Structure 1
Amino acid sequence: MTASPATAQEGTTTTLTADVSAVHGTNVVTAGDIVFEVDGVSIGSAPVGANGRASVPYTVPLLDNRDPVTQTVTARYSGDAPRFGASTSTTTVRVDPEPKSEVTSTVGLTASRGLPENGRLPVALDVEIDTSNGLDLPEGAQVEILRNGVVVDTIPVEGVTATYTDTVDYSTVATYTYTARLLETETYDTIYRGATSDPVEVQVAPAITPTVSVAVDRDTVLIGRAVDITATVTADGGPLPAGTELIIRANGRDIGTVTTDAGGNAVLAGHEFDIPGDKNIVAVFEGAQIDGTNYLMATSAPARLTVEALPEVDSETTIELQTVATAGDEVTITAVVSRLDGRDLTDAGTDDLGSVWFFRDGDAIGSAPVVINSATGEATAVFTHRFAERGEYRITAEYSGAFGTDEVIAPSETADATVVTVRPSEIEIDEPGPPSNEIDLSFGSLDLGSAMDVIGTDNLSSLGNLVG
């Protein structure tokens, strides 16, 4: 009695075969039936063939859990009287659970240096895992952190990430190689295969705190005027190598990044401040490893700079327009803007001279830019407005002011309102004269007598009463 295969995955089919032969002699058994039983339960029968064999297929059951099961298979030969008697034979079939699915992963590792403290340099290691099914790893997944091939710690994975901070001695030059190794994990139906990241190197060197200084080429500057800011970085009395980066900050805000020359100097040239006030300017070196030496972060003492606002010049605004208008007609309103110091608006150092808003009874009706009148040389803003209804209207104007490179022209408004009287439109209508009492009683070529014959005496009397 045999089963092929003798070990089958749950839900698959194996073939059960029984061989019948004579105990004595060489006669071949070719008759009779064989009943097959599994754990005492019949699963079918088959006649013995010419080769002395009988076979039946058998589909093994599905398991209740993932524990394998061994079943006993019995073949019962009925015999072929009177030549051959009945007999039995047994074997076993092992039923295994369905293989677990597999998830493979790719492990990524990044390392970043922290700031040294108490002779130790912290190294932050970030592990990121990409799984083949795109899902998180199961609870209990772990990663080993290796430094120079030696496991320094085993840390849990949360989802697909893990973090670890190692500390190393930074008093001597050294190179550390880190790897992250994901350990294999199994759940009820899945195997999460292990994987190892590519190596990441971290170089360590002795730490030196450099000296950083900063200077401005003047103490006071007008807003919008350029200044040069010079920063210098040195260590142990000598400059850091050329190309070292420094950040220039004013009142805590980065305003530029510069690189040093061979002398350790760097210049932020031609910087313009657009906000007046006192500025605290510092140069910041963020730290770097250069030629085997670890230079720590350093900030200069502040340099002071006062940014002054541009001088402000007062202005005056007047308006010119006709004070009597007709409803429906367009009226041109001209605003004239001038400086109270008598100079031209263009002396402020700008082509944009601002604009003028026009108001009717306090409500804005429009605006116009201020331009130089080529004929008069005056700075004017011209606006056209149509008064739709009759009445009296108060017209005023307001100048926006202007910002130049040398001065600021202050806003201004008209000192008084100009009153415009709008009259109704004139419409001519022909008026009719008094009615006439004379009625032309001519009847063509008829004389009065003929007319009486036509109209009749009674009707003629009524007509006379109508005429009066």
Structure 2
Amino acid sequence: MFVTRPARRRSVTALTVMSLTATLLQSPALAATTSTPLTHQCSVLGRTSFSPITEDVQVDAPEEVAVGDTFTVRISPGVMSVDKPVWGLNYRLSIPAPAEAKLVGEPRLVSEGSGLIGGSPRVTTLPPLRQLIVDGGDRPGSFHRPRDPYGWQAQGGEFQFPAIEMTFEALRAGSLHFGYYNEILTPDFAAISYSTTGSSLLNPVVYCRGNKLATVTVSDTPAEAAPTTTTFTDGAETQVAASGGEITLPVQVTGDDGTAVTTGEVAVTLDGRPVETTALSPQGGIAAITIPIPENTTAEPVTYSLTAHYLGTDRYQESSAMHRIVVAGTSAPAPAPVEEVATTTTLAARAGDLIDNATTVAYTLQATVTAAVGTVPDGAVVKFTEHGQTLATAVVSNGVATAQVALGEDAQHRITATLQDVDLAGKRYLASSDTQVVAVPSTAVETPEVTTPILPMEETTITLSAAAETLAVGAPVPLTATVTSPQGKRAGIVVTFRDNGRNIGQATTDASGVATFAAPVTVDGRHTFHAVSADQPTDTVLLLGASSADLTLATRPKTTINNATISLTAAPQQPVAFGDTVTLTATVTPATVVNNAWVSFYEGDTLLADVQVDPATGTASLPVVATATRTLTARLNPGTNTQVSYNGADSAPVTITPTSDDYRFVIDPNDPATPGNTAGSSAEGAGQGSSDTESSSPMPVLVVLVLAILAGGLTLLPPVRQQFNLPPLPPLIPLG
């Protein structure tokens, strides 16, 4: 019944069990795409085998995710080819356990498929079984398959299932597994008796499984936020008439790779005053900012400073942009008249795939805008509202503005699309709107019975060994992890290696069940290595995760030396002139201690400076100034490096003595050239100097004596004593 053929994307009828590494969602695009070639073995209820079938299954997912991140996975089935009519077509997905990753919102069918007739597409979620079922509905309530066709049907030739998109929140580190397989009914196989019901199963179920696996680990380390750039797409300045009014400016946020950022909000301030905070549009990463500009009643233009600040997310860093708004003065010439162009807006709403029992239905709102003259330029803004509340804002591109919204199920919604007034390309395009009533259907359905194949579980063990008994900083140590099970060595198992509890890398086992990894050694001390693996399914069993015993190694102990020495020299050689700079050079030996060694320079007990030794020369230098006789020493401080631990040592002292002829501001009474000296070089000069000294030296003494006598006499006067509250003097001659 199945026909293999050269594949555009190869035919798909398989169970493809995949473990997907997930990163932050960049809606609507996903970060990475993989297309996995698979070979499948098909059977009827597990009893009969049929020819292998090859396929490519496309999986869109991020490359890495951290605990707490939200991420999206999209699985796109390929093309299947059949040569006879089949029915009951469906495919199933196994999803992570709720403790590993929480399903955010409802799964979404993001393509319509092809070649399928019959029921409407639906998605059924079975949380206890960790499964999703995508089918055409109309499934019977019993496990027995009726002979009459039901659900999705294919009359022969090619068909393709619709793609599904799911959003999860990662809750803990480990491996997230996503499985996929098909189920097909056909009357072309022999009848098989099903003993538990006592009846004949005339329409066998064909299950097809894949035999290739992939597993990735969810990191417990948050991803570093990427830089962003915020830009006003209309340039750095906007001219406004004196009358003011509302203007709309588009703001775009891009990542460091130039791609549009479509999540987060932009906060806008005008001269420091908050204006509004607007979410970025999922289409193009643009926020349409509406700013009220007051009227300018003065004669001179008024300039406002507008700031758009992207608030950032866990994935993207904050960024800002500035824009000037210049409002013309009343005395300025009136701006040239702008041609006004009438527009027409037409709203259409298209429902997405219904999700069983969901409270909302995804709709695509599309506003088509036309102009009476020409076309509406790209960059115009359309707002979608319901009862005055904004549902979404979109930017016009090629005459169309599109937004994704969620509307409550089983209700009537009155949606209005309004093109905002905008000045673009030298013309003013006038506002226009259109209103449509959208009837959203109910999503309530009955949950069908499902039989899920369960894989048997098998224990595994991990043995960890190292290629060395001791470690050295800077020299990676090869680690070997061997994974075995009761069935022998296991290939394709992803092993995570840890050092002192920290993940340091991963490796996958080869055909011999061996995974090797070169563990880096960056610090001294004990290193406890450990190897773990997560649960990994095969086509026949579920291999349970395992953990190795701890392997503890240590770095080699350092050598301790006590023969480190230090010597000190000064250049230039003595003597030196007053004020000259002298360079002190301390030389440290042996060479094994110079790496990371420090020398302290002292003058007596006073520390002048600490200088690190140059490992290339083994020396440390310090410049000093010869201002007086100075005795200097150098001390090697004890320490340790990657090679040795070493002792401290002191150098012999070095003395710097400047020549006396170069001292400044020192008076020598025997040197007639010394500034300030009054001694003469001749006898006449000496005699004159002596005469001056003798004649002038009594004068200060006489002046002080006269002043003291006057002050004492004043204190004898009665008015002076009364002024300073002194008692009256007794009479010199006793009276009576």
Query: Which TM-score band (shorter chain)?
Result: 0.3 to 0.5
Instruction: Tell which structure's C-alpha radius of gyration is larger.
Output: 1
TM-score norm. by structure 1 comes to 0.46
The structure with more strand, counted as a fraction of residues: 1
